[in-house]
Structure 1
Amino acid sequence: MDRTAGEGRIARRFAALKAQGRGALVTFLSAYDPDRKTSMDLLRGLPGAGADLIEIGMPFSDPMADGPSVQRAGQRGLKAGVTMAGTLAMVRDLRAEDDATPVILMGYLNPILAYGEERFCTDAAASGVDGLIVVDMPPEEAGILAPHAARHGLDIIRLVAPTSDAARLPVVLNASSGFVYYVAITGITGTRSADPAALARAIPPIREHTGLPICIGFGIRTPEQAAHAARVSDGAVVGSALCDALAASLDEQGRAKPDTVRVVLDAVRALAEAVRA
């Protein structure tokens, strides 16, 4: 059944969190990192560990906005045989036991085009995906995907950079739904930490142009940084730090060890406790 973008799980989750008086913890991990079973175990465990929304990376061979940590996570997923169909199957498996936690797919346009943009939106919605972050698809070029996404109730979540000025902001935000992803640093993911004072200054001008929730990502690594980001905005997105925690738990051959899932979920719990404090 077709849904209406902006009226699904993402909107309900942010409304519930607003009623609780706190921001969201949004977690990112790449699909099939380091293998399908471990990735699926992590996905199932994230809500219980405190993730309010889940981003799943769609690994791609040329991830131009990803820093080293997320690139390596994607490479492990590709080595493990990840496919678009396999990623969607993971979401379906999650939905068999969790119909509430919003799931966003994050990645690049090329794999979507290879799958077929209309088919992708149809299958993503049927699998239980709620939103899409397509890093290399600016609003001016979104016509290839946006109509299919809207028809199937998939939110297209836009990235707003520190360099987005007053003229650019309305262009980006008018094409957004779900929430707005504020990129806290210029450059690729996970390479620098966000400046707390700069974040506090950056969010109010964005609110002048949108009523959507705003989440801060790129450069949010520690529980303290996540807590600050969730206070000055509506949520903190943490990805590289979780990819690093996962990588550090693997054996010398890059395989999961018995404590890999626990290590990563413990890191999520620490972030969640700080955001909720």
Structure 2
Amino acid sequence: MQSRLDAVFAAAREEGRSVLVGYLPAGFPTVDGAIEAMRAMVAAGVDVVEVGLPYSDPTMDGPVIQDAADAALRGGVTTRDVIRTVEAVAATGAPALVMSYWNPIDRYGAASFAADLAAAGGAGAITPDLPPEEAGPWLDACAAHGLAPVFLVAPSSSDTRLRLVAGVARGFVYAASLMGVTGTRAAVGERAADLVARVRAATELPVAVGLGVSTAAQAAEVAGFADGVIVGSALVKVLLEAERSGAGASAGLAGIRRLAAELAGGVRAPVPA
């Protein structure tokens, strides 16, 4: 049976464009404020929402996402708040994925987390630090509840590694455009297009590129060779700057709508590879 996530990628393919995936952490600036921001992203053209599960010891997050996640944790956000956020996003009709390091899921209980995520209407989860070789219980839980387990590959991944990830992933493969942590950059990693081609040689799953995409022009560039474009830090930065300037929640939402609309325009006008 085709999942909501599969349907989004299939529909975008028919339209001749890439899928736009937008990331924001749950709980920032508040739980309800994050939900409103995610709804605003969807209304402005984001196809899939990554709901970040704030964690105190991130290995992949750059300073922007770390600052927002730290603020969410200080505000008392819980894993159950993340599930509630997923439920609110799923109600918009857009697929909602949780982006989480493995420790919070393991502590919650893989089977329980999968069951609660599915009950909330979640489409799956991205687990950047979970090796496929150690993912057996999580893969079983996802299969039992119809969730897509999404894994990451990087430019340094060997072809053997790509085949291993492709064999267990569902929904799409997350291709990190460069080595390092998340953050906005002046240019997308030069090796991203080659990595996408290598992943496609190993699987028919869609390939979405993240890390470093922050502008409509960069989104258009990546859309020229990838099935999906993932944007995180640039969107989080909008909320952070509104919070720090004292501009208020309405300014943050307006900024999210504006940037999401620009990025949505970018994926609909790809630059040929």
Distance 2:54 2:231 in 1: 17
Q: Answer whether contact 1:26 1:51 (CA < 8 A) is retained.
A: yes
For the pair 1:126 / 2:124, whether they are aligned, the reply is no
Q: Answer whether contact 2:220 2:266 (CA < 8 A) is retained.
A: yes
The match for 1:102 among 95, 98, 119 is: 95
For the pair 1:67 / 2:59, whether they are aligned, the reply is no
**Which residue pairs with 2:163 in the alignment?**
170
Distance 2:114 2:261 in 1: 32
Shift of 1:80: 2.0
The residue type equivalent to 1:224 in the other structure is A
Q: How many residues align?
A: 269
The 5-angstrom pairing of residues 45-64 of structure 1 reads 45-64=40-59
Q: Bigger shift: 193-202 or 119-128?
A: 193-202
Distance 1:11 1:88 in 2: 21
Shift of 1:70: 0.9
Q: Answer whether contact 1:91 1:127 (CA < 8 A) is retained.
A: yes
The 5-angstrom pairing of residues 170-249 of structure 1 reads 170-190=163-183, 192-195=185-188, 197-249=190-242
**Which residue pairs with 1:270 in the alignment?**
262
Structure 1 unaligned residues grouped into runs of 5+? none
Q: Answer whether contact 1:251 1:257 (CA < 8 A) is retained.
A: no
Distance 2:184 2:234 in 1: 10
Distance 1:48 1:192 in 2: 26
For the pair 1:38 / 2:30, whether they are aligned, the reply is no
Shift of 1:150: 1.0
**TM-score w.r.t. structure 2 length?**
0.93
**Which residue pairs with 1:20 in the alignment?**
15
Deviations 1:7-27 (A, max 9, x none): 311100000011111001110
The residue type equivalent to 1:86 in the other structure is D
Deviations 1:92-112 (A, max 9, x none): 23334x2x3111100111111
Q: Answer whether contact 1:67 1:191 (CA < 8 A) is retained.
A: no
SS of the residue aligned with 2:129? coil
Shift of 1:192: 4.2
The residue type equivalent to 2:170 in the other structure is S
SS of the residue aligned with 1:167? helix
Distance 1:264 1:128 in 2: 24
Distance 1:195 1:43, change over 3 A: closer
Distance 1:195 1:42, change over 3 A: closer
**TM-score w.r.t. structure 1 length?**
0.92
SS of the residue aligned with 2:99? strand
Distance 1:109 1:196 in 2: 26
Distance 2:142 2:170 in 1: 11
Shift of 1:252: 5.2
**Which residue pairs with 2:137 in the alignment?**
144
Distance 1:223 1:252, change over 3 A: closer
User: % of aligned pairs identical?
Assistant: 38
The residue type equivalent to 1:74 in the other structure is A
Deviations 1:14-55 (A, max 9, x none): 000111110011100000111122111112222110101110
Distance 2:97 2:120 in 1: 12
The residue type equivalent to 2:267 in the other structure is V
Distance 2:84 2:45 in 1: 23
**Which residue pairs with 2:110 in the alignment?**
117
The residue type equivalent to 2:144 in the other structure is R
Tell which has more relative contact order, 1 or 2 (C-alpha 8 A, sep 6+).
1
